[in-house]
Amino acid sequence: MRKVWILASLGLLASCGGGSGLGGDVKGFYSLSVSLNESDITSPIVSGSPPDISIPPDTISVRVSLAYSGTSSNPLRGVIKKAQLCLEGSSCYTLPVSGVLTANGSPINFTLSLNAYKFNLPWIAVNPYEDRILNTEWQEVPLTSSGTSRTQTDNYFNAARTVNLQYPPVAKNSLVLSGVGDFSKSYTYSGYTSGTVDVILPKGADTTNQIKPSSVRLIAGTLRCKDDGAGNIVDDTGTPPGTCSGGIDYTTGNLSFRITGVSSATDVQIGYVVSGTQQCWDNGAGNLVGECTGSVNYTTGQVSYRFNDNFVSTPAAVSISWMQVDAYGNTITYVLPSQTMVSPYVYQVSGRVVEVYQGTTLLCSNRSASSVCSVSVSGNVVSINFPGGVLPALSLKYSQDRKVDINPSIDVDVYGRLSSATVRGYVEVDVKLESGETLKARTPITFRVVPY
């Protein structure tokens, strides 16, 4: 009987366990033996060259047989319960071996293709490509002060309002005020005389805002028009029938109208209500811009604001969000791109070298601190500390390596690179007889580890 198995993944066991004589084991009239077609194996660690490399398997041929020396005409059979490859008496790998042995019958032969152990020491230290940097590119990004995201709510009554934020100081260009509800807006179309006119009514900065149905009113002198809540422009109360026509798209704000009976160029006053949000934000210089006016004191957190359009109902809920900068203003963090695989065993890794610049002047790096700043890298998070306070106009320059990393948990440069190695161990097979007894046999194996 002959079987072929491929073992490409690790099956590492905590320990080899048990023990038996080399080659065979005897229990009463039964003896178990295991042997290898070749016990001294040349074991190349890698094939190909970066970025196209692979870990070639070793071929191991195992022969397992069960002998019986008694007089019974019906000897017991044995079931292979476990097989393992143990290296240097410590690390063991489960082998996918199974079958039923007949005493004095044909042995079971297995051919195994194994490479699981080549991802560990000492194989990985013999691999000439492990932890090798293939090429490096440099990336440069602007740096801004880090901080903590904060939110706070306020009640607004259509009047100038001053609020003190709970967590100052406030990072510049981080403050946003959002007032939620229905608010009134107006638009003037100048010099209308006749015909159909198309206009787009402003709805505010938030693109999800919509015009509220039945809220649109048009006034041209004494003539009045309105929307009917279904998107049509119709006559308002007191206006002669057939005066007004057109339509309104509440979502886009597109308004089309025609007013008959206008004797001369007349301004059309259009009033309407928007359902949604009014938003404003700081401009980095202490002023609020957008849909409100006001100011912010970045140091104290005091904010004064008034929205441009009145809310229909008050108080209107206002959400205020900002970034609270570091209390001492001396630390900036930056998250580097995560490690990504670009081909089998080859990764793009950022941050081996990290440098901080002000303009074109190098201030510090993760390899060289200075009195101005220091850099530390933990995982993919970079922290830059400025004892005297964060400086303006900063940028971060970092390396982005393409690197071979077959086993990220082992740093070969720390362990030490090897040109070759010899690893001894054994193949062990456990067989359970029908009587319940277990036989365990092993045979030695030697790997001559070479780079190719």
Q: Is 41 helix (H, G, I), strand (E, B) or coil?
A: strand
Mean pLDDT of 135-139: 97
For residue 389, what pLDDT is reported?
74
The pair of three-digit structure tokens given for residue 408, joined into one six-digit string: 């990220």
Distance CA 174, CA 66 (A): 78
Q: Is 412 helix (H, G, I), strand (E, B) or coil?
A: helix
Checking if the pLDDT of 160 tops 50, the result is yes
For residue 324, what pLDDT is reported?
84
The candidate with the shortest Cα–Cα distance to 150, out of 131, 126, 175, 119, is: 175
For residue 326, what pLDDT is reported?
60
Contacts of 207 (CB under 8 A, 6+ apart): none
Q: Is 414 helix (H, G, I), strand (E, B) or coil?
A: helix
Q: Which residue in the block uniquely carries the two structure tokens 């509220």? A: 212
Q: Is 429 helix (H, G, I), strand (E, B) or coil?
A: strand
pLDDT band at 145 (very low <50, low <70, confident <90, very high): low
Question: At the topology level of CATH, where does 2-128+418-450 sit?
Answer: Immunoglobulin-like (2.60.40)
Q: Which helix (H) or strand (E) holds 124?
A: helix 123-126
- CATH 2.60.40.1930 domain span(s) along the chain: 2-128+418-450
Checking if the pLDDT of 48 tops 90, the result is yes
Span 175-223, pLDDT tens digits:
999 999 999 999 999 999 999 999 999 999 999 999 999 999 999 999 9
Checking if the pLDDT of 344 tops 70, the result is yes
CB 33 within 8 A of CB 324: no
Checking if the pLDDT of 1 tops 80, the result is no
CB 111 within 8 A of CB 140: no
- Average confidence score pLDDT of the chain: 91
The candidate with the shortest Cα–Cα distance to 310, out of 179, 216, 139, is: 179
SS (H, E, C) 259-287: ECCCCCCEEEEEEEEEEEEEEEEECCCCE
For residue 243, what pLDDT is reported?
97
CB 304 within 8 A of CB 293: no
Checking if the pLDDT of 119 tops 50, the result is yes
For residue 16, what pLDDT is reported?
38
Distance CA 52, CA 73 (A): 58
Distance CA 178, CA 278 (A): 6
- Rounded to the nearest 5 degrees, what angle is found at the Cα of 77, between the Cα atoms of 74 and 83? 165
The candidate with the shortest Cα–Cα distance to 430, out of 80, 68, 77, is: 80
Checking if the pLDDT of 331 tops 90, the result is no
Span 264-279, pLDDT tens digits:
999 999 999 999 999 9
For residue 14, what pLDDT is reported?
31
Mean pLDDT of 217-240: 97
The candidate with the shortest Cα–Cα distance to 336, out of 400, 385, 392, is: 400
pLDDT band at 21 (very low <50, low <70, confident <90, very high): very low
For residue 2, what pLDDT is reported?
35
Q: Which amino acid is at 66?
A: L
Span 89-114, pLDDT tens digits:
668 999 999 999 999 999 999 999 99
